[in-house]
Amino acid sequence: MESIKAQRIPYSQIRVVFDRARELEKQGKHIIHLEIGRPDFNTPDHIVEAAIKALKEGKHHYCPNAGIPELRRAIVEKIGDEYKLEYSPDSEVIVTNGVIEGVYLAINALLNPGDQILIPDPAWLNYQHITLSNYVDPVPYALFGENGFQPDLDDIEKRITPRTRAILLLSPSNPTGSVIHPSLVEKIAAIAEKNDLLILSDEIYRKIIYLPAKHLSSATLPGMRERTLILDGFSKFYSMTGWRMGYVLGPEKLVNPMLRYHQYVITSVNTFAQWGAIEALKGDQSPSVNMVEEFKRRGDYISSAVNQIPGFRCVKPEGAFYIFPNIQETGMDGFQMSYMLLEDAGVATVAGECFGKYGAGHIRISYSNSMDNLKKAVTNIRAVMAE
Ligand SMILES: Cc1ncc(COP(=O)(O)O)c(C=O)c1O
């Protein structure tokens, strides 16, 4: 029997595509996977070696709830260098089981039932579902392709009510691939200050970004460190999705309540994996930098190729590894299109509707696949659309 809380969480529609793709593969059909939200690169060897070394050295046991001190120090040093901000490794950082745990902790520990949180739409749907199951109301603010998927300040301000407690920023974005312009981050920070809102800043893709786009964290703006929670992790830039490693950084007044939840839900994150994460932060960055260059090459190719398919309109990605073409001119919705592409073109994508109501009439294509496969996918899609 399900609790009323569980009933508030729908099953993810993204699974429908995965399951059908697997079924088709079992029948012998070749599928090009462009639905996947993870880098198609393995974790760099030196990171793997560091975790193996930790295992061999007997680092097998529980560690402090917030994570091993060495990793906490490495995180605050890295962010200190890059953002010119100081955080205490003892009270202002928690190593989490991926960014997803950070989001879960923030919604549980910092918001009350009946509060509202502004979340981008389209966006990674987990925000909405974690929020709903906690009786916090997600209030979507709309992002439109015509506007480069940039937040609209008037729209945000209009949606603020006496119940609004927080705004979530995601940049670069899953699924749009866009990066919020620094000038808009500044203006959103001013809105947050004026209305006494927290900013939950999901920065998981911040290093998968293509010049001239520039990432600005609201935490670095004057006075904003105190109201910004940085949610970041290792999954994407270091290709460590299966390691389940992330962290939250923020002022003690925000991080401390989250630690109370974390200690009972997770205890502490996998100890030897944390030694790998230290190596990720301190060791050779070139495998990740090379991966980003490869993503840029693919993103440039796929966005321009998809734009030439009649009925598809696509914004050039500025970061992450997704494009989010608008397919409304074909007369289909996102579900119909992704279903057809899977069945007839052998290309798996995700319907834009899976990312919120403003994602309707789009599909998400992940270009985390080889250039050869991207080219084949475009050829197949063109052929199906021509029919
Ligand atoms: C925007 C966004 N935030 C967070 C996550 C989850 O990351 P993690 O693997 O660190 O839990 C994802 C994963 O796809 C994501 O796209």
pLDDT at 355: 95
Ligand 1 mean position, distance from CA 331 (Å)? 31
Residue nearest to atom 13 of ligand 1 (CA): 37
Residue nearest to atom 7 of ligand 1 (CA): 99
User: Which ligand 1 atom is nearest residue 37's CA?
Assistant: 14
The Cα 244–Cα 233 span in angstroms is 9
pLDDT at 173: 98
What is the Cα Rg of the chain in Å?
21
pLDDT at 274: 98
One domain for residues 12 and 121: no
The answer to whether position 55 is within a domain reads: no
pLDDT at 13: 74
Query: Which of 245, 265, 282 is the endpoint of a domain?
Result: 282
**Pocket residues for ligand 1 (CB within 6 Å)?**
37, 98-100, 124, 170, 174, 202, 204, 233, 235, 241, 246
Ligand 1 mean position, distance from CA 47 (Å)? 20
- List the domain range (segments joined by +) for residue 165: 61-282
Query: Which of 254, 282, 310 is the endpoint of a domain?
Result: 282
Query: Which of 267, 282, 297 is the endpoint of a domain?
Result: 282
The Cα 160–Cα 139 span in angstroms is 9
The Cα 96–Cα 77 span in angstroms is 17
Residues of the chain with pLDDT under 50: none
φ/ψ of 63, rounded to 5, equals -130, 175
User: Which ligand 1 atom is nearest residue 245's CA?
Assistant: 10
Q: How many CB atoms lie within 10 A of CB 72?
A: 25
How far the first Cα of the chain sits from its last, in Å, is 47
One domain for residues 128 and 273: yes
pLDDT at 229: 98
The CATH number of whichever domain residue 316 belongs to comes to 3.90.1150.10
DSSP state at residue 342: I
Residues 6+ apart with CB under 8 A from 138: 116, 117, 119, 127, 128, 131, 132
